[in-house]
């Protein structure tokens, strides 16, 4: 299998090259030249495998230039109890009749990004060796909260790599900020940006494609790669947990092989739900992909109208990892839906850069409505949902997962669809303890962050993840804060 660029279909690289580069030189995203299929018989077999073996089976379909031994080296090291607090890696909780919470936050940073970012360093270092690249890999990351810490933890002290993370200074939770500012490792760097996530993401993309920066980096024996979901090596591991979840439901007798399910995903950058789209088109029977947004509802509007318009007010919410107005992975979806029309993608995303909006064709609008249902909720509704779930089911969820639950309830009410549904639960409630505690106790807390964590532990009966508990006494290492216009100079000064 080879990989094309969304902005130039003539680009044709191996998976190792796509993973190493992160983003195409033309600014496009790498997409596999076909979507491999998975048969019902294979789904049944997956049910009897460990998570690591399920992942290896699926990766073999996409990373065809990797040997079986190389793939198992990556999966066996990434998906083990040394990294995850549960043997299942991805836990499934039966919330209420026909609804399942796919808990993706039992890794070292307590967020779903661990599912991909624990394996990406193995993918990347293996890829570098495969293509005989004699350069140090510099990982540049923009984060809305969770990707940054997960990438830092994954690449911490990995030989032949260096990593720098930018986060919006006022756009992450106190716990997310503390996770990044206390990060250990000799090859890591963290910097706050006076702006929002889109400013971080745009800055990183601009640096990636800046010839001056790339030349200076190359002369120093280094090259850029990405740990954001623009890197195919970040996206392909996310496909795994949706296929794994379906196989698990079949194995447990919750559904029959061939039964359709819905998948509801809280998302801002569109990567997590795009992975579910890939799982569906590989052969997992999916009825509807439900895209859940917070009040920054650019994706909801797009799914419902076919118009993508980032020219709107930006809100800082209690679900900060979704505070995004430019959803990068949408480019991959539209490339597929247009029949890989790179000229159309260049036109639309050129308009997004210059005018802040574009409108897709009528046939793409029809495909969007056939595949997806979009909804959103505000902070008040998010917190009300956390409280309701806690009181009804004694289940504590974080602010992002609650957005998905609320949107799913709206979907059921509007459509009457009672198809069994997987809801992607994307973060530990302890990462957003202030908002979760306020939702459960119906009052703002005046306690400090760690007192709130202790109180939430009393109420939820969920053990505090050791990775978060240990932060209390860790010294802060990173305190830099810069203007968005200074990103390029900051990178050059700290990475060369």
**Positions marked catalytic:** 113
Structure tokens at 255: 């559904």
Contact call for residues 359 and 299 (beta carbons, < 8 A): no
Query: Which CA distances in Å does 102 have to 81, 324, 389, 457?
Result: 18, 23, 15, 21
d(CA 166, CA 145): 10
DSSP 183: -
Contact 125, 161 (CB under 8 A): yes
| Closest-CA residue to 15 (of 33, 2, 29) | 2
Task: Quote the Cα angle for 196-199-203, to 5°.
Answer: 150
Give the closest residue to 138 by CA, choosing from 305, 22, 8, 274: 22
Task: For 200-213, give one letter per residue: b (16+ CB within 10 A) or e.
Answer: bbbbbbebbebeeb
Residues in contact with 113: Cβ distance below 8 Å, sequence separation at least 6, in sequence order: 146, 147, 149, 150, 151
Cα distance between residue 253 and residue 242, in whole Å? 17
**Helix or strand or coil: residue 355?**
helix
Please report, to the nearest 10 degrees, the dihedral formed by the alpha carbons of residues 63, 122, 234, 282 taken in order.
30
Task: Give the integer Cα–Cα distance in Å for 398 and 406.
Answer: 12
CA nearest neighbour of 164 among 190, 183, 128, 145: 190
- Distance (Å, whole) CA 402 – CA 322: 12
Give the distance, in angstroms, between the CA of residue 183 and the centroid of all CA atoms in the same chain.
20
Q: Phi/psi at 117 (nearest 5 deg)?
A: -85, -5
Q: Where are the alpha helices (DSSP H) in 156-196?
A: 174-181
- Tokens, residue 302: 């797009």
Burial 263-276 (b: 16+ CB within 10 A, else e): bbbbbbbbbbbbbb
What's the full length of the chain, in residues? 496
> Residues 449, 175: contact at Cβ < 8 Å?
yes
């Amino acid at each position: 299998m080879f990989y094309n660029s969304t902005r130039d279909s003539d680009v044709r690289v191996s998976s190792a090259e796509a993973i190493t580069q992160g983003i195409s030189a033309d600014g496009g995203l790498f997409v596999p030249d076909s979507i491999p299929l998975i048969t019902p018989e294979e789904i049944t077999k997956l049910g009897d495998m460990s998570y690591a073996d399920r992942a290896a089976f699926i990766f073999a379909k996409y990373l065809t230039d990797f040997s079986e031994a190389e793939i198992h080296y990556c999966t066996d090291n990434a998906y083990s109890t040394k990294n995850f607090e549960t043997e299942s890696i991805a836990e499934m909780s039966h919330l209420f009749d026909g609804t399942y919470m796919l808990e993706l936050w039992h890794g070292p940073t307590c967020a779903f990004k661990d599912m991909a970012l624990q394996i990406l360093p193995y993918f990347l270092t293996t890829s570098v060796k495969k293509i005989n690249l004699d350069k140090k890999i510099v990982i540049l990351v923009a984060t809305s909260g969770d990707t940054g810490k997960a990438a830092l933890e994954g690449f911490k002290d990995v030989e032949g790599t260096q990593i720098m993370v930018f986060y919006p200074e006022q756009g992450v939770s106190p716990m997310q900020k503390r996770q990044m500012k206390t990060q250990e490792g000799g090859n890591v760097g963290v910097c706050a940006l006076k702006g929002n996530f889109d400013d971080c993401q745009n800055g990183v993309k601009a640096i990636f494609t800046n010839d001056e920066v790339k030349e200076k980096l190359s002369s120093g024996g280094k090259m850029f790669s990405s740990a954001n979901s623009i890197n195919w090596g970040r996206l392909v591991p996310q496909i795994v947990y949706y296929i794994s979840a379906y196989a698990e439901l079949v194995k447990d007798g919750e559904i029959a092989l061939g039964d359709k399910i819905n998948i509801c995903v809280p998302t801002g950058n569109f990567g997590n739900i795009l992975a579910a789209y890939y799982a569906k088109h590989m052969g997992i029977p999916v009825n509807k992909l439900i895209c859940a947004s917070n009040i920054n509802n650019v994706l909801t509007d797009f799914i419902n109208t076919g118009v993508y318009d980032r020219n709107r007010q930006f809100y800082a919410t209690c679900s900060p990892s979704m505070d995004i107005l430019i959803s990068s992975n949408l480019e991959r979806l539209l490339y597929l839906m247009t029949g890989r029309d790179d000229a159309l993608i260049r036109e639309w995303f050129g308009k997004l850069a210059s005018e802040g909006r574009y409108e897709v064709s009528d046939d793409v609008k029809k495909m969007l409505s056939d595949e997806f249902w979009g909804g959103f909720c505000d902070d008040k509704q998010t917190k009300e949902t956390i409280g309701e779930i806690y009181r009804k089911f004694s289940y504590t969820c974080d602010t992002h997962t609650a957005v998905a639950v609320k949107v799913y309830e709206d979907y059921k009410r509007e459509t009457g669809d009672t198809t069994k549904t997987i809801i992607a639960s994307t973060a530990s409630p302890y990462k957003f303890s202030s908002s979760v505690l306020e939702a459960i106790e119906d009052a703002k807390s005046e306690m400090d962050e760690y007192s709130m964590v202790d109180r939430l532990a009393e109420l939820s009966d969920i053990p505090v993840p050791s990775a978060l508990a240990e932060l209390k006494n860790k010294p802060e290492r990173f305190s830099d804060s810069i203007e968005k216009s200074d990103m390029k100079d900051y990178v050059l000064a700290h990475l060369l």
